[in-house]
């Protein structure tokens, strides 16, 4: 409530999957995106993924939403400790700061984002999810490539694109994860 947008945790050593963020060409990406929007060509997930690969913007994140208070604090502590102790494939995570008292569609809810380096590498995405589940996180997870955030393509966009590409649900009865592609 005091102006902080995100609380972050970062483990310092690089993962074997990590891309050098200096290699990302965000300015080139923005220019190519504006050119694509101005053209008469269709905008599709395939086009956006092609931009992601061309400009090396391949990071993504597993996300979950949790109410403020004790449950949110507890789940965030599991994630933060897992990152710091090296118990996850992810090296970075963040949680949104409180929205208490604000006009916001997610008032009284935090979003937790747990990063991985390459959404194009399905094995890495699935392994990242597995290590998050190993921390004790059982709520629904959604996976979103960062390219959508960089291009400001959010839910209910004019192209009818869904910015999340996987949903993971934990089945308590079978003690297993069910990951579904949703794009």
Q: Model confidence over 105-160: pLDDT tens digits?
A: 556 789 999 999 999 999 999 999 999 999 999 999 999 999 999 999 999 999 99
Domain residues for the domain of 145 are 6-11+57-181
In a domain, 27, yes or no: no
In a domain, 142, yes or no: yes
Q: How many domains does the chain have?
A: 1
CATH of the domain at 149: 3.30.760.10
pTM comes to 0.88
DSSP notation for the chain: --S--EEEEE-SSPPTT---GGG--HHHHHHHHHHHHHSSS---HHHHHHHHHHTT---EEEEEEEETTHHHHHHHHHHHHHHHTT-SS-SEEEEEPP-TTS--TTTTEEEEEEEES-TT-HHHHHHHHHHHHTTT--S-EEEEEHHHHHTT--TT-TT---S--EEEEEETTTTEEEEEE--
């Amino acid at each position: 409530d005091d102006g902080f947008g995100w609380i972050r945790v970062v483990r310092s050593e690089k993962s074997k999957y990590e891309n050098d963020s200096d290699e990302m060409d965000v300015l080139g990406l923005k220019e190519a995106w504006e050119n694509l929007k101005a053209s008469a060509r269709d905008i599709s997930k395939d086009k956006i993924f092609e931009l992601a690969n061309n400009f090396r913007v391949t990071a993504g994140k597993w996300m979950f939403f949790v109410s403020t208070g004790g449950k949110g604090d507890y789940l965030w502590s599991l994630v933060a400790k897992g990152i710091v102790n090296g118990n996850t494939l992810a090296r970075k995570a963040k949680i949104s700061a409180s929205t208490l008292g604000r006009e916001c569609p997610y008032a009284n809810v935090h979003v937790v984002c747990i990063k991985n380096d390459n959404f194009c590498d399905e094995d890495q995405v699935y392994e990242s999810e597995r290590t998050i589940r190993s921390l004790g996180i059982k709520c629904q997870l959604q996976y979103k490539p960062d390219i959508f955030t960089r291009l400001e393509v959010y839910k209910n966009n004019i192209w009818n694109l869904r910015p999340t590409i996987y949903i993971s649900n934990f089945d308590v009865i079978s003690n297993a994860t069910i990951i579904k592609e949703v794009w």
